[in-house]
Amino acid sequence: MPIEILTPPNPPPPLAPYSSGTKAAGFIYTSGMLAIGPNGETIGVGDVRAQTRAVIEAVKATIEAGGGTLKNVMFNHIFLKDMSDYAAMNEVYKQYFNDHLPARYCIQTPLVRPEFLVEIASTAYVGA
């Protein structure tokens, strides 16, 4: 089974050895997306809404690079630095996933840099 490496347009520089996403057997897996701009800058420092928007846009771009859309998302893994940001994150999340609600979980955990507030990794199915 061949595995396709997915690279969206203008990806941020990776923080470690990984790709933005992979596609195999009709499934797309995104890496954990963070609010990083194409030049490596953190987007929305201190603003979980801005970071959530940037993160979901990065997920969207990666899935689109594999031929899908956000409607193909089956599962989201959501990581928050602080659960006090849960409601604000959900406000933005619902703008993207309002009529299509993938399964998900959300946990509180430290993220790779202190300025990051949210990280999302997704699994989508686009067909074989």
Q: What is the CATH number of the domain that holds 31?
A: 3.30.1330.40
d(CA 83, CA 67): 33
Answer yes or no: is pLDDT of 1 > 90: no
Predicted confidence (pLDDT) per residue in 23-69, tens digit: 999 999 999 999 999 999 999 999 999 999 999 999 999 999 999 99
Burial per residue of 43-66, b for 16 or more beta-carbon CB atoms within 10 angstroms, e otherwise: bbeeebbbbbbbbbbbbbbbbbbb
Q: How many domains would you assign to the chain?
A: 1
d(CA 18, CA 89): 25
Q: Are strands 73-80 and 118-125 parallel, antiparallel or unpaired?
A: antiparallel
Answer yes or no: is pLDDT of 9 > 80: yes
Owning domain of residue 53: 4-125
What is the reported pTM?
A: 0.96
Position 113, amino acid:
R
